[in-house]
């Protein structure tokens, strides 16, 4: 039969044929008999159509076996019966109970009415055998009873099929969803799940039904959740008292707030949530200002008072003390309490949350506006850990919402949870983090090599100069060694004339020795340059030894001394490349508080870049055949702008194409054939890490360039 069509098929079983005809007369469509005096002498066909009763399709059998065959054929045709009226005594065949049992075994959905004139079986016996949906009707029956039962049970059959279709539809959705899903009741117990969730934790759905969802999470307990709410409520009370009141009134929990004396004696009811009013049958502010004995007897108030005085912290859930709360209609409602103390200057409050089987579980609070109000203040609360049956921990994100069934007081019936498996995302993040770590290591290594390389080059030039001077020392050594050997040989041969001549030669040479040594001895500046270069290399390496993120050592230092060290470390390169170095520094600049070694290295790199740019420009001009080549110049200017130190390095080198200007500080980007792309990048990172800014200006290729660093004078990095 069409699933959208109402089922009006009725099976009647009775061994009295007159009664079978009565059933047919009662249930078959007919017009209501109306009093002509009340209706009037005339009526239209439209009026008659409105007065037409609902008709049923009746099938009759005078024995139980025949009734079962009719039901079997109806099922085969997909036109099952909605209701069966069955006589209890039908000799010589089956009685009504045996017939009803056979029909139920054949079709579990059929509604059964036992119609009998004898008290052969009690309704309890019938229910015990047939389990559900069985009614008993006494003969002789009234026509309206038969009609109303057929109509009511037919509608019940239709509604059951609608629910079955909805359940099948929801089951289809649930089963085919790739995302793990759970349906919980208000106590956070699993009612249904899909295969995706069963696969996630390695437990079949049938084993999960009825178990608390918290068992599968390594998360904080429900009491810890409420403890967090207590902290947030205290914060809300202190910051926005009006919001504190309205929040508790709208809480999705049965909440009762009591005003306390300073010694924690209970004074009166301060406010209650709407949910508590619904739980105990009170409306609006009916309880506000009332003594607590309106809801509890004196013995239980004494127990609660003792609990309040024994609380050592601001939160307690004494589950071993259930209370019997007075409902407005006189009955008792059993519920335990959780006590949350709220401190106030004038007097404290206790927020009592009532808990029983009808109360929403604290684990579901985060899905309510009340819970979200507090959860928003928690960091990382969405990511949780589930436990597979093997013990494996699974990172998941949980989202969901409560669902409501029925309009009466909008009662929550449970929640739908979506579990998002984060393992793939975590693995991807780990790969990205490892790649970033490797990139950072590569960048750090390149920065070390670049900075050390710049310094080593200057040290190498100075050391080569020292080696040349040492070679001159060796020549002097060889000269004196040769003269000494000749003098010794003359003495051994007894040639006094030759001996006297060699002695005089040695004496003359000794007078010239100090001047000769002075000419070849390395000057102090050269030795200082080597010493400072080696020390700077050690500083660069020490800076990087703490790991991928270099440790920053800030200190107050003398800027003129820094520039003097800079000049010593770069002088050899500048002289070799015939580049003039100028410093423009005002007097009286206060000592900056910055990472001195990193700043020194940045300036070394900038001066070196400027000198290399000048050489590139000169080479291009020579290749172009220009007769006059402008001498190279690198100028370092320092200014003080309020609390910022402005350092500008200008050169008359090859300049930069404006289109690539923004790329120059990127890792690995370079315009030089032998460049690494690390120098400017490391300088940019250093400036940004200090809270400063860096910018490059150039009018174009061949027109020079300038780089300006703006660094805070006294900001902690």
The count of other CB atoms within 10 Å of the CB of residue 321 is: 12
Poorest-confidence range of 84-88, 201-205, 529-533? 529-533
Q: Is residue 197 part of a domain?
A: no
362 has a pLDDT exceeding 60: yes
Tokens at residue 561, please?
A: 């001394």
For 99-127, how does the pLDDT look when each residue is reduced to its tens digit (9 = 90+)?
A: 999 999 999 899 999 898 877 777 777 87
Look up the CATH number of the domain holding residue 692.
3.30.565.10
Domain check: are 458 and 503 in the same one? yes
Q: Does the residue 130 lie in any domain? A: yes
Cα distances (Å, whole numbers) of residue 562 to 278, 550, 591, 705, 709: 78, 21, 11, 23, 16
Q: Average pLDDT in the 7-25 region?
A: 91
Per DSSP bridges, beta strands 323-326 and 315-316 are unpaired
- Regarding predicted confidence, which is higher, 284 or 406? 284
Residue 486 domain-assigned (yes or no): yes
Most confident range, picked from 41-45, 146-150, 396-400, 675-679: 146-150
**Better-scored residue on pLDDT, 668 or 17:** 17
> Taking the complete model, does pTM exceed 0.85, yes or no?
no
Q: Are residues 518 and 581 in the same domain?
A: no
User: What confidence category does residue 455 fall into, taking pLDDT thresholds of 50, 70 and 90?
Assistant: low
DSSP state of 217: B
Q: What is the pLDDT of residue 63?
A: 94
- The answer as to whether 533 is a domain residue is no
CATH number at residue 156: 3.40.50.2300
Kindly tell me if the per-residue pLDDT of 568 is higher than 70: yes
Q: Is pLDDT larger for residue 206 or for residue 368?
A: 206
The sign of the CA dihedral 499, 504, 507, 509 is: negative
Q: Are residues 520 and 563 in the same domain?
A: no
Residue ranges making up the domain that contains 481? 434-524
What does the pLDDT read at residue 382? 62
Do 422 and 200 contact (CB within 8 A), yes or no? no
Kindly tell me if the per-residue pLDDT of 427 is higher than 90.
no
- Which carries the bigger pLDDT value, residue 630 or residue 316? 630
pLDDT at 531 over 70: no
- What's the confidence (pLDDT) of residue 3? 57
**One domain for residues 267 and 408:** yes
72, 151: one domain = yes
For residues 116 and 239, membership in a common domain is answered with no
The whole-number average pLDDT for the span 69-73 is 94
The pLDDT of residue 613 = 87
What is the mean pLDDT of the segment spanning 187-196? 86
Establish if 545 belongs to a structural domain.
Answer: no
CA–CA separation, 152 vs 111, rounded Å?
Answer: 10
Average pLDDT over residues 527-555: 61
Helix axes 596-623, 559-576, angle to 10 degrees: 30
Q: In what order do the strands lie in the sheet with 705-712?
A: 579-584, 632-641, 644-651, 705-712, 693-697
Q: How far apart are CA 416 and CA 455, in angstroms?
A: 65
User: How would residue 181 be classed by pLDDT, with cut points 50, 70 and 90?
Assistant: confident
What's the confidence (pLDDT) of residue 546? 44
pLDDT (mean) for 489-503: 80
Q: Which residues of 225-236 are buried (b: 16+ CB within 10 A; e: fewer)?
A: bbbbbbebbbeb
- What's the whole-number average pLDDT of the chain? 78
pLDDT tier for residue 687 given thresholds of 50, 70 and 90? confident
Q: Which of 171, 190, 210 lies at the terminal end of a domain, its last residue?
A: 171
Do 249 and 365 lie in one domain? The reply is: yes
Greatest mean pLDDT range, 311-320, 327-336, 459-468: 327-336
23 vs 21: CA distance, rounded Å: 5
Instruction: Look at residue 180 and tell me if it is in a domain.
Output: no
C-alpha 103/C-alpha 651 separation (Å) is: 103
How does pLDDT run across 601-613, given as a tens digit for each residue? 889 888 888 888 8
Phi-psi region of 385 (alpha: psi -120 to 50; beta: other; left: phi over 0): beta
Q: How confident is the model at residue 369 (pLDDT cuts 50, 70, 90)?
A: low
One-letter-per-residue 3-state SS of 301-323: HHHHHHHHHHCCCCEECCCCCCE
Q: Which segment of 129-133, 416-420, 600-604 scores lowest on mean pLDDT?
A: 129-133
Q: Give percent of the chain above pLDDT 90.
A: 13
Residue 363 confidence (pLDDT) above 70: no
For 273-329, how does the pLDDT look when each residue is reduced to its tens digit (9 = 90+)?
Answer: 888 888 899 987 889 889 998 899 998 888 888 888 777 666 677 666 788 999 999
- Report the pLDDT averaged over residues 327-340: 87
How many structural domains are present in the chain? Answer: 4
Residues 410 and 468 in one domain: no
**Backbone φ and ψ of 20, nearest 5°:** -60, -40
Average pLDDT score over residue span 630-637: 91
**507, 524, 541 — which closes off a domain?**
524
CA 191 to chain centre: 27
pLDDT at 497: 79
Question: What is the CB neighbour count within 10 angstroms for residue 21?
Answer: 12
3-state secondary structure of 481: helix
Q: How many C-beta atoms lie closer than 10 Å to residue 426's C-beta?
A: 13
Do 590 and 646 sit in the same domain of this protein?
yes
* List of residues 6+ apart from 466 with CB closer than 8 A: 522, 526, 527, 530
Omega of the bond leading into 140 within 30 degrees of 0 (cis): yes
Backbone torsion region of residue 507, taken as left when φ is above 0, otherwise alpha when ψ lies between -120 and 50, otherwise beta: alpha
State both tokens at 570: 């770069």
Residues 637 and 686 in one domain: yes
Name the token pair of 679.
């120098």
Statement: residue 22 has pLDDT above 60: yes
Mean pLDDT of 593-605: 86
| Band of residue 40 on the pLDDT scale cut at 50, 70, 90 | very low
**Whether 563 contacts 636, CB under 8 Å:** yes
Contacts 24+ apart (CB under 8 A), 326-329: 326/280, 326/294, 326/295, 326/296, 327/280, 327/281, 328/280, 328/281, 328/282, 329/281
Look at residues 424, 447, 478 and tell me which one is the last residue of a structural domain.
Answer: 424
In a domain, 558, yes or no: yes
Question: Which residues, 6+ apart, have CB-to-CB distance to 590 below 8 Å?
Answer: 640, 713
Please tell me what DSSP assigns to residue 292.
G
The per-residue pLDDT for 82 is 93
C-alpha triplet 372, 377, 382: angle, nearest 5°: 65
The domain that contains 302 carries what CATH number? 3.30.450.20
| pLDDT tops 80 at residue 692 | yes
- Pair (62, 117) in one structural domain: yes
| Rg, C-alpha atoms of the chain | 49
- Tell me, what's the pLDDT at 73? 94
**14 and 160 part of one domain:** yes
| Over residues 687-716, mean pLDDT | 85
pLDDT at 34: 38
- Is position 209 within any domain? no
Q: What is the pLDDT of residues 505-516, one digit of tens each?
A: 777 777 777 777
């Amino acid at each position: 039969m069409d699933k959208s069509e109402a089922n009006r098929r009725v099976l009647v079983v009775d061994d009295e044929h007159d009664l079978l005809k009565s059933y047919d007369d009662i249930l078959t469509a007919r017009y209501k008999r109306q009093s002509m005096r009340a209706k009037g002498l005339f009526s239209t066909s439209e009026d008659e159509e409105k007065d037409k009763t609902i008709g049923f399709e009746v099938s009759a059998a005078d024995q139980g076996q025949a009734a079962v065959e009719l039901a079997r054929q109806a099922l085969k045709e997909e036109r099952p019966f909605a209701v069966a009226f069955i006589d209890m005594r039908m000799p010589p065949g089956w009685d009504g109970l045996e017939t009803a049992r056979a029909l139920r075994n054949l079709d579990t959905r059929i509604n059964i009415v036992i119609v009998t004139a004898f008290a052969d079986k009690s309704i309890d016996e019938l229910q015990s055998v047939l389990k559900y949906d069985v009614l008993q009707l006494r003969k002789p029956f009234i026509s309206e009873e038969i009609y109303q039962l057929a109509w009511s049970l037919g509608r019940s059959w239709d509604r059951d099929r609608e629910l079955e279709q909805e359940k099948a539809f929801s089951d289809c959705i649930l089963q085919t969803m790739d995302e793990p899903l759970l349906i919980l009741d208000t106590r956070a117990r699993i009612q249904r799940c899909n295969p995706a969730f069963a696969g996630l934790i390695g437990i079949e759905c049938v084993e999960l039904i009825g178990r608390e969802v918290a068992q599968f999470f390594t998360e904080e307990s429900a009491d810890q959740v409420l403890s967090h709410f207590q902290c947030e409520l205290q914060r809300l009370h202190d910051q926005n008292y009006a919001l504190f009141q309205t929040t508790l009134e709208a809480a999705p929990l049965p909440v009762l707030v009591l005003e306390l004396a300073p010694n924690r004696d209970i004074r009166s009811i301060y406010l209650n949530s709407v949910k508590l009013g619904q739980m105990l049958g009170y409306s609006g502010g009916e309880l506000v200002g009332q003594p607590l004995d309106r809801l509890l007897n004196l013995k239980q108030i004494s127990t609660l008072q003792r609990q309040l005085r024994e609380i050592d912290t601001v939160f307690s859930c004494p589950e071993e003390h259930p209370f019997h709360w007075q409902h407005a209609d006189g009955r008792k409602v059993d519920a335990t309490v959780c006590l949350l103390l709220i401190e106030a200057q004038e007097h404290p409050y206790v927020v009592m949350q009532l808990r029983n089987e009808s109360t929403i579980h604290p684990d579901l609070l985060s899905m309510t506006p009340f819970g979200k109000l507090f959860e928003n203040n928690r960091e990382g609360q969405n990511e949780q850990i589930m436990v597979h049956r093997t013990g494996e921990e699974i990172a998941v994100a949980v989202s969901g919402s409560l669902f409501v069934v029925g309009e009466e007081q909008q009662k929550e019936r449970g929640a739908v949870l979506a579990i998002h498996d984060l393992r793939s995302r975590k693995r991807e993040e780990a790969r990205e983090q490892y790649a970033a770590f490797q990139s950072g290591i590569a960048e750090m290594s390149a920065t070390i090599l670049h900075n050390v390389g710049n310094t080593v080059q200057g040290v190498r030039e100075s050391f080569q100069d020292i080696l040349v001077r040492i070679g001159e020392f060796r020549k002097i050594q060889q000269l004196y060694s040769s003269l000494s050997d000749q003098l010794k040989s003359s003495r051994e041969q007894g040639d006094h004339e030759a001996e006297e001549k060699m002695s005089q030669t040695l004496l003359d040479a000794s007078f010239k020795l100090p001047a000769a040594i002075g000419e070849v001895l390395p000057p102090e500046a050269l030795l200082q340059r080597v010493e400072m270069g080696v020390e700077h290399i050690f500083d660069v390496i020490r800076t990087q030894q703490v790991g991928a993120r270099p440790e920053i050592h800030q200190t107050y230092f003398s800027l003129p001394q820094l520039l003097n060290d800079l000049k010593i470390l770069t002088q050899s390169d500048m002289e070799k490349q015939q580049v003039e170095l100028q410093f423009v520094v005002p007097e009286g600049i206060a000592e900056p508080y910055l990472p001195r070694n990193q700043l020194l290295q940045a300036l070394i790199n900038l001066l070196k870049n400027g000198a290399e740019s000048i050489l590139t420009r000169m080479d291009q001009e020579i290749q172009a055949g220009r007769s006059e080549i402008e001498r190279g110049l690198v100028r370092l200017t320092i200014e003080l702008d309020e609390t910022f130190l402005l350092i500008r390095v200008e050169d008359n080198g090859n300049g930069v194409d404006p289109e690539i200007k923004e790329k120059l500080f990127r890792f690995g980007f370079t315009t030089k054939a032998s460049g690494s792309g690390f120098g400017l990048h490391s300088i940019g990172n250093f400036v940004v890490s200090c809270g400063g800014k860096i910018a490059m200006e150039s009018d174009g290729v061949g027109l020079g360039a300038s780089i300006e660093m703006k660094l805070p004078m006294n900001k902690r990095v």
